[in-house]
Amino acid sequence: MRQHNKKRIKSKIASINNGVLEDWGDYKWQLAHSIRDIKSFELLTDIRFGEFERIRLEKTLRKFPLAITPYYASLIDISNYTNDPIYKQSFPDIRELDVMENDMRDPLSEDEDSPVMGVTHRYPDRVLLNVTSTCSMYCRHCTRKRKVGDKDRFLNKTQLRESIRYISDTREVRDVLISGGDPLMLSDDLIGWVLEKLSLVPHVEVIRIGTRMPVVLPYRITDELVGILSKYKNLWINTHFNHPRELSGTARRALAKLADAGIPLGNQTVLLAGVNDCPRIMKKLMHVLVQNRVRPYYMYQCDMSEGLSHFRTPVGKGMEIMEHMVGHTSGFAVPRYVIDAPGGGGKIPVMPEYLISWSTNKVILRNYEGVITAYKEPDSYEPTFCDRDCDSCRLQLNLEPGKEENPIGLVKLLGEGSETVSLTPKSNERIRRRNGK
Ligand SMILES: *Cc1c(COP(=O)(O)O)cnc(C)c1O
């Protein structure tokens, strides 16, 4: 069925282009043929909307524009599109216009915590660097929906220089998260330039890229791009899969390219009503991710952004999903469930309760099966007195990495410039004789 849909979309695009189907696997071709209006979507998928619905969809698009890559559209199961997770994440829903009383344009106050254009500095040691407001696909559940399709789509080089200057002037920033929009919308050259500039800042220890390209346009992960990214040995990539169906063969190959290049991969999922608000779907998603060397990082509660109310679930649904994963599956397949605090408080982790009671020397815990256990605390624990006088502290506060300064055993013989020529046990009979003992 899916294969069939891909063929259908391909041949339709070919007929629109006077029969010339250029390379489906070329990401630039995909971007150039991205679906941006209802009519093209109908034409390509054979889905038809009624007159009344079309008018309301058009109205939705005037507020929140549409963009779907042909690749992502080809994953839609046309025979059951109203329940399809790919369709729901990419095609507008007229409920996006229902703005609820509590909905906010900028629920995370990212614009307020912005010292210079493009930078959000919320946490003490890390910043968000939004290099563009554009994406290859406009996710219907985007938390930055207010910015989707903005005119000023990319930071120009002067603005980029200014935001990088802020980072190099702010010594406490040790982690830079390049986001957007989708940073991989930038040209290879510009991506390389930003990474190079950031890696020259001595206090920047890690760089992260947040991108949905492996999901919505995996062809963007070209050998050339991977060549640029793999130069930076402190670079992490976080992507955004929400449903197991998104891990097509092409998506898996893109992930494999990144992982083979040694880039650590993480995934941030959003809990979405009608898409993945089910323990079974979520667990399967996490399993497929780790199978493809992607470590589940966060599962987000859906933000209170305008136009997202139909995607929101109660927090209890997230709790239920966590309850189904913790202990039931590999620890590293379980993401951390977080709520991004409205007003800009940052991400707040929430978890079902496992510590159920405690006394002065015992804590009572329950496990994933409901087994209740007591953990007895140590009878004697001498807390380290801390008055912040680290010089007199008994803990080892030399935090420099250890060096192999005193090789022992065979390493002593193997080392360059080693003066030792032999190792002999103390009890050796021959040496004892030699020494006349
Ligand atoms: C999510 C986020 C970060 C990164 O947070 P981590 O928990 O370290 O992944 C940094 N800045 C802002 C504004 C964020 O929203």
Quick one: residue 149, left, alpha or beta (phi over 0 = left, psi -120 to 50 = alpha)? left
Which position among 2, 10, 63, 126 bears the catalytic label?
A: 126
**Structure confidence by residue, pLDDT tens digits, 167-218:** 999 999 999 999 989 999 999 999 999 999 999 999 999 999 999 999 999 9
* Distance between CA atoms of residues 71 and 56, nearest Å: 26
Final residue before a domain boundary, out of 64, 97, 130: 97
Distance 128 CA to ligand 1 centre (A): 7
Domain co-membership, 124 together with 72? no
**Span 303-332, mean pLDDT?**
97
Q: Are 243 and 237 in contact (CB under 8 A)?
A: no
**Contact call for residues 100 and 309 (beta carbons, < 8 A):** yes
CA of 175 to the centre of ligand 1 (A): 10
Judge contact between 140 and 90, C-beta under 8 A: yes
Question: Are 44 and 150 contained in the same domain?
Answer: no
Strand order in the sheet with 362-366: 355-358, 362-366, 372-376
- Average per-residue pLDDT for the chain: 92
Distance CA 243, CA 275 (A): 7
- Do 125 and 267 lie in one domain? The reply is yes
What CATH number has the domain bearing residue 141? 3.20.20.70
8 is catalytic: no
Residues 216 and 129 in one domain: yes
Asked if the model's pLDDT at residue 219 lies above 80, the reply is yes
Pocket test for ligand 1, best of 108, 125, 126 (most atoms within 8 A of CB): 126
Give a yes or no: residue 406 inside a domain.
no
Enclosing domain of residue 182: 119-352
Beta carbons of 350 and 319 less than 8 angstroms apart:
yes
Instruction: Verify that 84 and 145 share a domain, yes or no.
Output: no
What is the number of the ligand 1 atom nearest to the C-alpha of 298? 9
Residues of the chain with pLDDT > 70, as a percent, come to 96
Task: Please tell me which residue in 123, 232, 297, 368 is annotated as part of the active site.
Answer: 123
Q: Which amino acid is at 242?
A: N
Q: Is the pLDDT of residue 118 over 60?
A: yes
pLDDT of residue 106: 81
Q: Which of 352, 371, 390 is the last residue in one of the domains?
A: 352
Q: Cβ < 6 Å from ligand 1: which residues? A: 120, 122-123, 126, 128, 177, 347
Left if phi > 0, otherwise alpha if psi is -120 to 50, otherwise beta: which for 325?
Answer: alpha
How many degrees, rounded to 5, is the angle at CA 19 between CA 14 and CA 24? 35
Q: For residues 278-300, give the mean pLDDT.
A: 98
Could you read off the pLDDT of 37-90 as tens digits, one per residue? 999 999 999 999 999 999 999 999 999 999 999 999 999 999 999 999 999 999
42/172 same-domain check:
no
Q: 341: CA distance to ligand 1 center in Å?
A: 12
The pLDDT assigned to 21 comes to: 67
Let me know if 126 is a catalytic residue. yes
29 and 59 together in one domain? yes
User: Does 372 map to a domain?
Assistant: no
Q: Find, among 2, 33, 301, the residue nearest to 143 by Cα.
A: 301
Task: Tell me, in angstroms, the distance from the centre of ligand 1 to residue 361's CA.
Answer: 37
Does residue 130 sit in the same domain as residue 47?
no
Indicate if the pLDDT at residue 361 is higher than 60. yes
Q: Inform me whether the pLDDT recorded for 284 exceeds 60.
A: yes
Note the pLDDT tens digit of each residue in 18-37. Answer: 555 668 999 999 999 999 99
| CB-based contacts of 228-232 (< 8 A; 24+ apart in sequence) | 228/188, 228/191, 228/192, 228/195, 229/191, 229/195, 229/258, 229/261, 229/263, 230/261, 230/262, 230/263, 231/195, 232/195, 232/199, 232/207
- pLDDT, tens only, 231-272: 999 999 999 999 999 999 999 999 999 999 999 999 999 999
Structure confidence at residue 19 (pLDDT):
56
Residue 290 lies in a domain: yes
Where is the domain boundary, 329, 352, 375?
A: 352
* Whether the bond into 181 is cis, omega within 30 of 0: yes
Read off the pLDDT of residues 383-419 as tens digits, 9 standing for 90 and up.
888 888 888 888 888 889 888 777 677 777 777 777 7
Q: What is the pLDDT of residue 20?
A: 59
Whether 207 is covered by a domain: the verdict is: yes
Instruction: Check if 303 is active-site.
Output: yes
Q: Looking at the structure, do residues 55 and 177 belong to the same domain, yes or no?
A: no
Same domain, 285 and 180: yes
* CA nearest ligand 1 atom 12, residue: 128
- 21 and 66 part of one domain: yes
Which is more confidently placed, 13 or 339? Answer: 339
Please state the atom number of ligand 1 nearest to the C-alpha of residue 346.
15
Whether the per-residue pLDDT at 379 is higher than 70: the answer is: yes
* Number of domains the chain is built from: 2
**Do 231 and 124 reside in the same domain of the chain?**
yes
